[in-house]
Structure 1
């Protein structure tokens, strides 16, 4: 049986070991250190980019706002100043179509050719006026020569000048009548319908061989480098929007910033709402006319409202974690659960009055998955 070592001898052995120069054994981490390490990782959900994608977690940018925002459904429209209807000024049969839907066209280029008796009459008037002008100018030249030779009286010269001026005016009038109807169609009985501006053909209401009436709409041509959205706001909300204000346009993963171009000072008689039009730079062609989108309007503070501002996040980003309202903020390791103070709802968004700066990206769709993952991680830690 091993004998017990006296306490004094044990102390002597320990002191000898410390004086020998060999390093002391590594100390085990204290409970305080373990708690600090846990505190650093508390609320962190570590996920790779691939794991985030597979989990279906979507991210949205928080929005700083002085007075809240409105989120409304909207539709992409052509810029009112960049869209024009092309109609037939005269009736007739369509014998040629040179542009189809979506094709580009330059200003003055032919879209269609119409054949009709009226076109023949207009073109014939040009030819007749041109012939009369040629005759009148020849007569004027002859009368001028005879007058210079003192053979013809000045009265005949004045009459020749008058006739030449009238013939010139008649030719210009005939040319303008054809120009109002279109352009030369290559034959006396044809008129070409031309594009009034450069852009794309966005509507075509005619087929080859169709007989069209005067003033019938044949095409719509739009310059789609700029598009717009039109919104109807209550008078109170419209009063917080100014020309130049930003509107965020969202559809799926596509986003653009539009600028308010017009705030109507007159309410619609039927709806009693004010129209707000915002213009979007569409040089890349990512937006299509008629496409449904979501528009988020940043409202400025109204006078005397106490400056009710904050940060806007989608309502789907808010989760309740341990009794506190929380959002999951994207970081390099994944997402960090960040407690926030939630204010009033604003459409599909909510106002965050504290906890965020407005520069964060937060989880929206799939944020509940992150909450579940966070709870699972804390349960595992508590079980050790």
Structure 2
């Protein structure tokens, strides 16, 4: 009896339980997608680089399309300070002789015509002697011609004798002229020559004069030294204006032109800057260095710039149109440059860009931006602060 009742299937209430289970499963299935959607929505983060402008930010921000502007590249070229070739004198002796006196030292300021050194010259003495003899011959030959004229008028001598003596006088004049010119070549002035002519005495000392006012920047002579006219004894330079000379690589030579403003940085003077004009661009390329010489004229009234000082020449190239943005539109984040670019009305994305040369408050954009895209050119700082605030929420 009991075995029969246990083996017989139980039918009482089974359909009701099955229907309840199906309903519960359907209910759970219907609720699960909604719950998953809400959880998924909570998991999707907002883009931290996108910001939507509030009414206040709209009033502070100024928009403009990205466009091209004239940009000048800055070429940094190593160079040095050199004396102005028009303001330097390389001074030597006019005659061969031995130095007997030196009146200046290296670095001393001198005036034009000032005596730098004195030397004793036998060559000068010999030529002075020739001049004195020629002067005396003029006097003798002049008296001889006057005497011959009197004798000719008295019919004592013939015309041929008179002509011979006149020819001798002309030869004496030629000798005197030659001796005078030779003394000029040896550095004597007309006044000094006249003194010799009047006194009849030789002066074998020759002076070396400064040919311009300036500073003695080189002295290559000592007392007792025998010097030749071809030797350079002193260099005197006017340092109130100097040149900055540099070598520009031939690939960049076309970017520089005469008349451009040039800044000169001097490391020895704590990177002090001097401004001048580019006055010369070479016409040839150095075949060894493949460079072109450029030269800038600089004012140096305080003589802070010294010859052979090393400098950096900052040369502005010719203007070239490039895609550019205002400097104030650039945001510096994580050591990279960014700008805010409009992606939809009143919504902007902070986009990384690669920048180039800055010129006149404009910065060239090498990549990351397309011409015509709308960007924030003013107020970008405030917009970025709002973006950071939203990111922290």
Match of 2:103 in 1: 98
1:170 Cα deviation (Å)? 2.9
Tell me, yes or no, if structure 1 residue 343 matches structure 2 residue 355.
Answer: yes
Tell me, yes or no, if structure 1 residue 88 matches structure 2 residue 93.
Answer: yes
Tell me, yes or no, if structure 1 residue 307 matches structure 2 residue 321.
Answer: yes
Q: Judging changes above 3 Å, is the alpha-carbon distance between structure 1 residues 118 and 233 closer, same or farther for their aligned structure 2 residues? A: same
Contact 1:72 1:296 in 2 (8 A): yes
Which structure would you say has the larger Rg? 2
Q: What RMSD over aligned residues (CA atoms) do the two structures have, in Å?
A: 4.3
Q: Judging changes above 3 Å, is the alpha-carbon distance between structure 1 residues 87 and 355 closer, same or farther for their aligned structure 2 residues? A: closer
1:219 Cα deviation (Å)? 0.7
1:146 Cα deviation (Å)? 6.9
1:353 Cα deviation (Å)? 6.4
1:176 Cα deviation (Å)? 3.2
Q: Judging changes above 3 Å, is the alpha-carbon distance between structure 1 residues 125 and 145 closer, same or farther for their aligned structure 2 residues? A: same
Looking at secondary structure, tell me which structure has more helix per residue: 2
| Equivalent position SS for 1:236 | helix
Match of 2:276 in 1: 258
Q: How far apart in 1 are the matches of 2:145 and 2:112?
A: 39
Contact 1:68 1:309 in 2 (8 A): no
Q: Judging changes above 3 Å, is the alpha-carbon distance between structure 1 residues 307 and 243 closer, same or farther for their aligned structure 2 residues? A: same
Q: How far apart in 2 are the matches of 1:108 and 1:203?
A: 17
Contact 1:129 1:167 in 2 (8 A): yes
Q: Judging changes above 3 Å, is the alpha-carbon distance between structure 1 residues 139 and 341 closer, same or farther for their aligned structure 2 residues? A: farther
Tell me, yes or no, if structure 1 residue 236 matches structure 2 residue 248.
Answer: no
Q: Judging changes above 3 Å, is the alpha-carbon distance between structure 1 residues 273 and 356 closer, same or farther for their aligned structure 2 residues? A: closer
| Equivalent position SS for 2:290 | coil
Q: How far apart in 2 are the matches of 1:141 and 1:319?
A: 104
| Equivalent position SS for 2:77 | strand
| Equivalent position SS for 1:285 | coil
Q: How far apart in 2 are the matches of 1:140 and 1:106?
A: 49
| Equivalent position SS for 2:104 | coil
| Unmatched tracts of structure 1, length 5 or more | 1-31, 40-63, 327-339, 345-350, 358-377
Q: How does 1:220-299 map to 2 (within 5 A)?
A: 220-251=235-266, 252=270, 254-299=272-317
Contact 2:90 2:235 in 1 (8 A): yes
1:220 Cα deviation (Å)? 0.8
Contact 1:238 1:276 in 2 (8 A): no
- The alignment of Structure 1 onto Structure 2 pairs a total of residues equal to 278
| Equivalent position SS for 1:287 | coil
Deviations 1:39-58 (A, max 9, x none): 9xxxxxxxxxxxxxxxxxxx
Q: How far apart in 2 are the matches of 1:231 and 1:296?
A: 10
Q: How does 1:48-63 map to 2 (within 5 A)?
A: none
Relative to the length of structure 1, the TM-score reads: 0.58
Q: How far apart in 1 are the matches of 2:360 and 2:292?
A: 33
Q: How does 1:198-237 map to 2 (within 5 A)?
A: 198-237=213-252
Relative to the length of structure 2, the TM-score reads: 0.57
Contact 1:86 1:195 in 2 (8 A): yes
Match of 2:358 in 1: 352
Tell me, yes or no, if structure 1 residue 109 matches structure 2 residue 114.
Answer: yes
Q: Judging changes above 3 Å, is the alpha-carbon distance between structure 1 residues 119 and 324 closer, same or farther for their aligned structure 2 residues? A: same
| Equivalent position SS for 2:321 | coil
| Equivalent position SS for 2:259 | coil
Contact 1:67 1:310 in 2 (8 A): no
Deviations 1:318-373 (A, max 9, x none): 995555549xxxxxxxxxxxxx97633xxxxxx1268559xxxxxxxxxxxxxxxx
Contact 1:93 1:116 in 2 (8 A): yes
Q: How far apart in 1 are the matches of 2:362 and 2:354?
A: 11
Contact 1:67 1:308 in 2 (8 A): no
Q: How does 1:83-162 map to 2 (within 5 A)?
A: 83-140=88-145, 159=164, 162=167
1:238 Cα deviation (Å)? 2.2
1:202 Cα deviation (Å)? 1.1
| Equivalent position SS for 1:266 | coil
Contact 1:183 1:193 in 2 (8 A): no
